[in-house]
Structure 1
């Protein structure tokens, strides 16, 4: 008995030490985020500014309003004019730069708060998170309440899949009743929209759509191979994700231009559905196969440490192993990527609403910087620089109701703005290094944006990230 008590005491002591260590690590991570906490930065309490000496890129048309002043009040744009007389308000001198709307990334996977700073440092002032977990509800609330600085943050619930599509990252639905219950539950808990995923059967899919109509909540659809591709073009579905699934599902892995024309016609006949290409994440498969020491690339320092250790490595092993059985694999991946460019051009020509998304946060696709790579692919596909910029500004504003007040520089719109050195329509690369960013009217200087990038490179939060993911598995599975 004494031995049993002694073992119990030792086990209890070890458990206590583990709990102390866990709480210490969480506290350390929270302390390291002080640079994003609004209460600790007096300047971020300010949301009223007069911006002078700027050329405005309004994105309401392909034009520039020269030599303007812009008045921000309570986080909104209240006046744009060549001369505005105000006193007792902070003035930001744009020094002849260009003021444009902040960018929206419509498909991301956020793993920690440091990534919020990375998005802002790259001029991304709104993100749509496509794999909701409990941590995202807390993150969203902290941003909404003005406690944590970050882009406007919206999140789906957990990914909804069918009974034959396993994976710890998926919520497998086994019945129509369960499908309805999950949709209602996610709406009640504060998730902003539903994400449908691969493996959903027609019965489950229809149940989700019907319950979403009842709950008045939108859907973003990763196409399910158990359904015809065109079945995802529905009123409840605001966007269909991934150009790669046009090839892999609609065209059965064939680079079929006639088949593509039918897909484009389906989209054009259902104008309420947007398409989110996520070209950069697929192209990164090609990089995994062709770039030496890709896992040591500098951009991967911006990946969450847990994702870099687990998912980045797993993706590398998956594709390099596959290449051993197919020496032409890299060539095939590149050919499919080029077909994605064709698909984007054809969709644009047909008037389909294209919305920029990167799938950042998985594989080797880091937050923030990937947006500029994504937009570069749209230009390579044949979109003009202005059309490419529309996909990350005005086009997302046409999807969800919660995005309608963003995407342009107009009176009454939210003050989510980016100041760059040159005209982004003529010099898209200027967006890679903003001179300043406003999110909800809060001004972030170039110096602060650079600090955000440095903090993200230096973060060491592998264990806290693992604990948050464990929370998701325990809460949602």
Structure 2
């Protein structure tokens, strides 16, 4: 009996030690991102001022408002005019540069707070996180309370799927009643949207949609193969994710434009359905097969270390081996990517609202940086620069009512803005390095933005990320 008690004491002591180590690890990781903390008493936190000598690209119309003044009051765009007089306020010289709405990435996977800085440095001032975990609710709270510099932050709950186990990253639902309970719970806990995923069968899916309507919470759908593709055109579903899912599900990998057209028409006829093609993440499969050393590349130093060690490595090995076993795989993937571009072109021609999403944060798809590649793909697909910019500004902001204050430069809108050297309606690349990023009116200069990149590069928070993921498994499962 004494031996058992001693063993139990040792076990409890070890558990206590592990908990203590975990707390210390998370604290150290948290302190590593204190450079994002907002000191509301410092001048950099001043969110009321007058911008002069600036060319405004409002994005509610295809135009440039030349040589304007913009009054930002407490983080809100108060007035835009040729001349504005406000006494006792800071004047900021736009130096004849261009003021645009901040970019919105509508499909990301955030793993740590370092990534928030990466998004900002690339001009992304709002993100929609589509793999919700408890840590995202804490980020959301800090963003809403303006404790940290971050893009405006919106998040789904955990990914909902059916009873079939397809990975511990999903929340398996066994019956309609459980599905309704989860929707209610996620809304009550502060998640903004419901994410439905591959493997969700009709009976449970119906229950999710029914409860989402009652709970007044929008659904974001990664199409499920258990229902028809047209099923996802339900009014409660605001966006469908991934051009590749059109290829994989209704087309069954048949890259036929004639068979594609009825699918495009059905999406167009639904009127309310927005589509997020996420071209970049699939194209990165091709990039992995073309570059045997991509995991050692300079760019991958910005990826979360746990993701790089697991998901990035697993994806690379999968496609490296596929290429090795069948060299024609490379050509097949390239042809599918090209067909995705055709899908974007057809969606646009049919009047479907396209919203920009990258799937940043998984595989080798970098947080922040990838949005510029995604926008370039839309341009290659035939969209004008203005139409391309709409996907990451006004289109995105109109997807959900809670995002309506973003996406355009108009009086009453939140001052999430970029100041860039050239006119992006002529030169998209100017968006890659904004001179200033404004987050709810607070100004971040290029030097500060570059420091965000450096802080995130080669970060050593693998264990901290794993602990947060473990927290998710414990709480959500």
TM-score (norm 2): 0.97
Whether the 8 Å contact between 2:40 and 2:46 is mirrored in structure 1 is no
1:68 paired residue number: 68
Tell me how far apart the structure 2 counterparts of residues 466 and 311 of structure 1 sit (CA, whole Å).
Answer: 13
Whether the 8 Å contact between 1:157 and 1:192 is mirrored in structure 2 is yes
Whether the 8 Å contact between 2:292 and 2:320 is mirrored in structure 1 is no
Matched, 1:423 2:423: yes
Whether the 8 Å contact between 1:165 and 1:198 is mirrored in structure 2 is no
How many residues are treated as equivalent by the alignment? Answer: 477
Distance 1:10 1:243, change over 3 A: same
Alignment of 1:16-55 (within 5 A): 16-39=16-39, 42-55=42-55
1:395 paired residue number: 395
Whether the 8 Å contact between 2:184 and 2:215 is mirrored in structure 1 is yes
Matched, 1:160 2:160: yes
Distance 1:68 1:183, change over 3 A: same
Tell me how far apart the structure 2 counterparts of residues 57 and 336 of structure 1 sit (CA, whole Å).
Answer: 35
Whether the 8 Å contact between 2:69 and 2:80 is mirrored in structure 1 is yes
Name which of structure 1's ranges 419-428 and 23-32 shifts more when overlaid on structure 2. 23-32
TM-score (norm 1): 0.97
Spell out, residue by residue over 1:54-109, the C-alpha distance to the aligned partner (whole angstroms, 9 max, x if none): 11111111111111111001211011112222232222211111000001000000
The offset of 1:44, in angstroms, is 4.4
1:258 paired residue number: 258
Tell me how far apart the structure 2 counterparts of residues 305 and 24 of structure 1 sit (CA, whole Å).
Answer: 19
The offset of 1:15, in angstroms, is 3.5
Distance 1:231 1:91, change over 3 A: same
Alignment of 1:100-119 (within 5 A): 100-119=100-119
Tell me how far apart the structure 1 counterparts of residues 300 and 70 of structure 2 sit (CA, whole Å).
Answer: 37
Which runs of 5 or more residues in structure 1 are unaligned?
Answer: none
Matched, 1:412 2:424: no
2:326 paired residue number: 326
1:362 paired residue number: 362
- Which secondary structure state, in structure 2, belongs to the residue aligned with residue 159 of structure 1? strand
Name which of structure 1's ranges 3-12 and 53-62 shifts more when overlaid on structure 2. 3-12
The offset of 1:437, in angstroms, is 0.8
Tell me how far apart the structure 2 counterparts of residues 159 and 178 of structure 1 sit (CA, whole Å).
Answer: 14
Whether the 8 Å contact between 2:25 and 2:464 is mirrored in structure 1 is yes
Tell me how far apart the structure 2 counterparts of residues 436 and 142 of structure 1 sit (CA, whole Å).
Answer: 22
1:57 paired residue number: 57
The offset of 1:302, in angstroms, is 1.3
The offset of 1:403, in angstroms, is 1.1
Alignment of 1:270-285 (within 5 A): 270-285=270-285
Tell me how far apart the structure 1 counterparts of residues 4 and 271 of structure 2 sit (CA, whole Å).
Answer: 70
Name which of structure 1's ranges 96-105 and 319-328 shifts more when overlaid on structure 2. 319-328
Distance 1:474 1:427, change over 3 A: same
Tell me how far apart the structure 2 counterparts of residues 420 and 298 of structure 1 sit (CA, whole Å).
Answer: 25
Tell me how far apart the structure 2 counterparts of residues 451 and 65 of structure 1 sit (CA, whole Å).
Answer: 32
Whether the 8 Å contact between 1:132 and 1:191 is mirrored in structure 2 is yes
Spell out, residue by residue over 1:391-435, the C-alpha distance to the aligned partner (whole angstroms, 9 max, x if none): 000101221001111111111111110000000111100000010
- Which secondary structure state, in structure 1, belongs to the residue aligned with residue 27 of structure 2? helix
Tell me how far apart the structure 1 counterparts of residues 424 and 315 of structure 2 sit (CA, whole Å).
Answer: 34
The offset of 1:33, in angstroms, is 1.3
Spell out, residue by residue over 1:433-471, the C-alpha distance to the aligned partner (whole angstroms, 9 max, x if none): 010011111111111111111111142111110000001
Displaced runs of 4 or more, over 3 A: 1-17
- Which secondary structure state, in structure 2, belongs to the residue aligned with residue 395 of structure 1? helix
Distance 1:11 1:431, change over 3 A: same
- Which secondary structure state, in structure 2, belongs to the residue aligned with residue 54 of structure 1? strand
Alignment of 1:144-223 (within 5 A): 144-223=144-223
Spell out, residue by residue over 1:205-252, the C-alpha distance to the aligned partner (whole angstroms, 9 max, x if none): 111111111001000100001111111011101100000001001101
Whether the 8 Å contact between 1:34 and 1:40 is mirrored in structure 2 is no
Tell me how far apart the structure 2 counterparts of residues 472 and 421 of structure 1 sit (CA, whole Å).
Answer: 42
Tell me how far apart the structure 1 counterparts of residues 212 and 150 of structure 2 sit (CA, whole Å).
Answer: 28
Name which of structure 1's ranges 279-288 and 1-10 shifts more when overlaid on structure 2. 1-10
